[in-house]
Structure 1
Amino acid sequence: MSLPVHLVESLAGVVVGSVVEVTGDEAHHAVAVRRLREGEHVVLTDGRGTSVTGEVASTGKRLFTVRVVSVDVSERPHPAITVVQALPKGDRGELAVEVLTEVGVDRIVPWAASRSVAVWKGERAAKSLAKWQATAREAGKQSRRSWLPTVTPLATTDSLTDVVREADLAVVLHEDATAPLSALDVPASGRIVVVVGPEGGITPDELALLEGAGALTVRLGDEVLRTSTAGVVAVAALLSRTERWA
């Protein structure tokens, strides 16, 4: 059975024999909800490549300590995958973030596309972004990732041009495209960007802007997928052709 994973702020300088203290909501969930007890073994990760395995040395109301028995440092995986996810309606945004995190995406960019049904403004924008970030953290722990994905603030279409330009390969998923995703050459390193449109589709103006920045318009297949699932299917198809899934 896999050991439970808990997220900590930093593991800098931690070595075998160190005692790491976990506090706050993370500790409360472990102690009060999961009933974590002294002597159990857990994994701690900082989400930036370092994970440790250790034995719970003590527990309190909103804290527990772990004595480290092993340390693992992982390099950031390559190629790095960014998914630009147009805002879906309802809770499909959290679903998209969850599965994208589980499949190994490194950065998720929420996008206010012209035809997005959902709208993030004011206080709702802050709450929605926080919910996406929390979903990514929990999915990252569940999938035992040493590197957790970044969920950026809401992007406009104009700001996406910079995201596309910095990529070694950028693709826009579109049901009317003639070029299949499977025919592309996938870079072994660098950054890959996948743009997923909203339920209403990407507008011609948005498509022209993204293509002008260097994105390729591609299709997955004959079937039309939901915006909340198209990204994870595309990323899986790309990762299967890299050393990350070798």
Structure 2
Amino acid sequence: MALHFVTDDAGGAHPGAIVTLTGAEAHHAAAVRRVRVDEEVTLGDGRGVWLSGVVVAATPKQVDVRVTARDERPAPFSRFVLVQALAKGDRDELAIQAATELGVDAIVPWQAARSVSRWDAKAEKGLARWRTIVREAAKQAHRAWIPEVEAVARTADLVRRAGESTVLVLEPTASVRLTETTAPDDRDVVLVVGPEGGIAPEELEALTAAGARPVRLGDTVLRTSTAGAAAIAVLSAAHGRW
């Protein structure tokens, strides 16, 4: 499979045009991935444009690609949104990386009551870090659309969201399995994953009162770093994406 790179310049390019990679993307292409002249690659803008092309020049500072074909891939009609609670270490980062590779369409960092990690004074830095992780994971997975990483949410924000989307709260004690749950095809499906200590009772009560549905993945308890990715895989199969 051809190597894939992302650049905003891909959006306006058509067959015959030259798209130039510069900066970090050029260095990654030439010095890390070692692309060579005449090698076939793909390019995207992260918003649905997908280009095929051939490298015509390659240095660590600039890589030129002649476009040979263009495709525009539509965004999903209903999105899979992962609300990932902030977690200690790199567990939340592992979660969003895997979810991106498996097909999530948007990610919401959640400052849950039991989150050990706190972004109160470093939200912008945390969001920038998550967006970089998601961008690189989407490139690795050859995705035409890079998932959006939204602003940090509080529980009250999730409660409001339950009125306009299908909100499913991953809860190991729930009586209903995710595989037994159906969701309309015209609404976003929002998966809520708690932190290491689980979702606090008052948070679960507030979410269910607003219309969210607690669901479980199976008889075992998954870590916060794997639960969301597993749920995305289940939804992808159920909704015909896989």
**Cα distance in 2 between the residues matched to 1:106 and 1:17:** 31
- Number of residue pairs matched? 242
Mapping of residues 147-226 of structure 1, within 5 Å: 147-167=145-165, 169-226=166-223
User: Is 2:26 the counterpart of 1:31?
Assistant: no
For 1:12, give the aligned amino acid: G
For 2:197, give the aligned amino acid: G
Shift of 1:173: 0.9
- Aligned residue in 2 for 1:82: 81
User: Is 2:49 the counterpart of 1:50?
Assistant: yes
For 2:157, give the aligned amino acid: S
**Cα distance in 2 between the residues matched to 1:164 and 1:63:** 46
Shift of 1:46: 0.5
CA contact (8 A) 1:78 1:244 kept: no
- Aligned residue in 2 for 1:64: 63
CA contact (8 A) 2:29 2:60 kept: no
CA contact (8 A) 1:186 1:238 kept: no
Normalising by structure 1, what TM-score?
0.93
After superposition, the C-alpha distances for 1:39-81 in whole angstroms (9 at most, x for unaligned) are 2111101011111010112234422111000111111124310
For 1:241, give the aligned amino acid: A
Shift of 1:120: 1.2
Q: Secondary structure at the match of 1:244?
A: coil
CA contact (8 A) 2:84 2:192 kept: yes
Which stretches in structure 1 are left out of the alignment for 5+ residues?
A: none
CA contact (8 A) 1:77 1:244 kept: no
Which stretches in structure 2 are left out of the alignment for 5+ residues?
A: none
After superposition, the C-alpha distances for 1:11-44 in whole angstroms (9 at most, x for unaligned) are 2332110111111111111122222222211110
**Cα distance in 1 between the residues matched to 2:29 and 2:235:** 36
**Cα distance in 1 between the residues matched to 2:220 and 2:55:** 49
**Cα distance in 2 between the residues matched to 1:182 and 1:12:** 38
Shift of 1:134: 0.9
CA contact (8 A) 2:9 2:19 kept: no
Shift of 1:114: 0.4
CA contact (8 A) 2:46 2:144 kept: yes
For 1:121, give the aligned amino acid: D
**Percent sequence identity over matched residues?**
46
- Aligned residue in 2 for 1:98: 97
For 1:192, give the aligned amino acid: V
Shift of 1:127: 2.5
- Aligned residue in 1 for 2:142: 144
Q: Secondary structure at the match of 1:27?
A: helix
Normalising by structure 2, what TM-score?
0.95
Shift of 1:144: 0.6
RMSD of aligned alpha carbons:
1.4
Which among 133, 136, 139 is matched to residue 135 of structure 1?
A: 133
**Cα distance in 1 between the residues matched to 2:229 and 2:116:** 20
After superposition, the C-alpha distances for 1:123-153 in whole angstroms (9 at most, x for unaligned) are 3x33222221111111101111001111112
**Cα distance in 2 between the residues matched to 1:153 and 1:31:** 34
For 1:191, give the aligned amino acid: D
CA contact (8 A) 1:42 1:56 kept: yes
